[in-house]
Chains A and B, each alone.
Chain A
Amino acid sequence: MSARLTSDARAALGSAGFSRRSFLRGSGAMVVAFAAARSTGLESLVSAQGINGRSATALDAWIAITADSRVLAYTGKCELGQGLYTAQVQLVAEELDVPLSRVALTMCDTAATPDQGTTSGAQSHPANFNQANLALACATARQALVGLAAQRLNLPAANLATGDGAVFVKGEPSRRVAYGDLVGGRKFMLDLDATAKRKNAADWKVLGTPVPRLDLPAMVTAQLEYVHTVRVPGMLHGRVVRPPSVGATLAGVDEASVRGMPGLVRVVVRKNFVGVVAEKPFQAVQIAEKLKVSWTPGPAIPAQAEYYDHLRKDRASRDTFLLDSGDVDQSLRGARTVVSATYLHPFHMHGSVGSSCAVADVQPGKATLWSATQAVYPMRDTAAQLLGLQPADVRVLFTRGSGCYGINGADTVTYDAALLSQAVGRPVRVQLTRRDEMAWENFGNAFVIDQRAGLDAAGTIVAWDYEAWSPALGGRPGYDSPGNVVTGWLAGFAPAASTPRAPAPAPNTPLNNNLNTAPSYVTGCVGGVCRGTGTVRSERVLSHRTVSPFFTGPLRAPERFQNTFAHESFMDEIAAAAKADPVEFRLRHVRDERLRAVVRTAAGAAKWDARPSPRAGRPAAGVARGRGISCVLYEGDNGYVAIVAEVEVDQASGTITVTRLTGAQDCGPISNPDGVKNQFEGGALHGMSRALFEEVSWSDQRVTSVDWRGYHTFAVGVRTPAVEAVLVNQPSAPANGAGETAITVVAAAIGNAVFDATGARLREIPFTPARVKAALSSRGTA
């Protein structure tokens, strides 16, 4: 097979015995015919999540059976390092009763897989492991195979069972027909059947077990293909030259400055986009460094030191009431005690360990893109816009990248490679510099969050008021906005527009707490429909969205990390004002049983010391120890989590050492317990890094955190806390996401533990030693 395929695709196609393209082409007419003939309601079933793209209703788009009874499966949800390749192979093996080794899964190739939009938002497990999409395709295929065998054997389907790639007669396992003999190499020509029966979780043998990552042996022996290792014949090497500062526009390029340099193929300019193409990668580096480019500075941006004040004062905002019971000011006036606090969160970056890379081969009327984008189909459409092609002319092959959890430079560098390849008519590989990765990625949003809460005489919360300001610019390009990332913008496309709106209209749709903007403790009532998890009826949630000076986008637990830090730290402040134990106080104000269960389970596993915070008898100097808790129902409906953090605070230096993170997580049925644990551990430590160290910095319109000396995290050589996860399995509940739950609650759990240890409240991320010391010295005066 061609070296242009991903290794996963090669594994799937190499042994398939037929061309996937012709296979799909042949079934295309059938898809249309079935769609016209039968209205199954599948459209709503598969498109409930906008994030999940257009999907596919034809079984043949998802599953094929080879003549030798292997199963070829096709998914639009990709492996980003989270273990989804293995989990999806488990799903297929389980539902179709074949060994893992007889499943070949192709991920995210616009020429082969269903359009499942973007692999993001903790939506892969919900999308493909419930009664829809891949899981439903497997169930439909199994049902069809049993039906075919019933005809072949002239027996009722009820008398048949499946196992080891065959249908057999119950009680007579030697009377069997292999899948390959029933349909091998041919199409099913069926629609997904919304009523096809999946296996009961109680009967699972493969799914739900800790199958080791199938890709790990290739990964640790350096045999796994990443987009960074893709090499195609005739490939050249590109390098981009980004503007020096935010908003700068191109004034001129002096091509004579690099004329005659070894390996130079071309200097490429398109509006404000500048790049060079050379024969070898180091030549491209040298040429890009030498190229004289002049820029006109963009409009001034606020200084970092004044940025939070600026955010609050920016009047060009789009204002939204998520909740407003209309009586919050009155409730607060009548409260015995009012607690108020402001929480601050900086811009964060994905900071992938590998700077982003892509390979593009753009020929007249045709383009092939090897990309680590999390959104192959949207990328196909927006790259077509950028290149002046039709989407059908563009093929995007997802090829693994460096761990991302959002939108690092993968999308923008794909555009870079595409533009450069189009200019020279040959395949071009581009890898960003560390600086270009870090200065121009789509950062996670900064936030200013004001909260007020009222307590009655019994120490019960009677009102909760939330008002937040956060900036945004661009984001995922989606299907039509290449200007949402820097390269598209440089090439002349505008970011998706933001429309100011003030005052905010009254809320008129039932609560959708997708961004965890509403705290867990309010009832979340709109028009009599109450979708919150808590008990506080007097509630107001008002958000102001302003325009960001930097590109922003979804970063692991996007906005939910920021909001949950504020809510869960503030809940701790209220509990302290009520002199209540933080766990007991939470349980008193949460009515959702599954959220209550993870709080109790995490507290139990951590051997929670029930008492109010801060700890009585804590030392005023030296090392102080404490514990804190935090919880959330992620995205309002996508997984429950609670974490207890234990910390030591060196009060002389202001250094926080997290000694233990103990959590409980309920994400519905567990598809792979070790995979979920790996995500929990990684998410917990990622959250710790963001809470303690991470902050984008800038000066004079230039991002200054452009390498690992300017953007802080912690190395593998830094001793990490023990991380323990209790996984709560819910076999009969819907499958939820599991990759972004743990990270969401970590910052507040750590901040609450610091308060317990010292009585000092941390309200600004990251919790640097300087901020810890400032909080320590203002103890008792707040």
Chain B
Amino acid sequence: MASLGKPILRRLGDAAIAFDPRSWETHVLPPAAAVVAEIAEELSAEGPVSAERLRRELWAEFELDCDTPEMRQLLRTMGEIGMLEG
């Protein structure tokens, strides 16, 4: 069971939605963002996931450059809605 404060992630095909129980906001994640969120969720099984931890994983596993404005914005948003620590 998800703890209060952490968004609840549900896949919808390749996309996903994340419900934030703190704000009651629902976020729509298109496929690419859904993949990143899903990876973050998988990593969270080992403990809290920081943006830096996710950056390293995305680069190591997918060679995805997280230093683009779009990726920085995505990670910032994920942090704001509670999907990443700190």
Q: A and B bound?
A: no
- A interface residues, Cβ below 8 angstroms from B: none
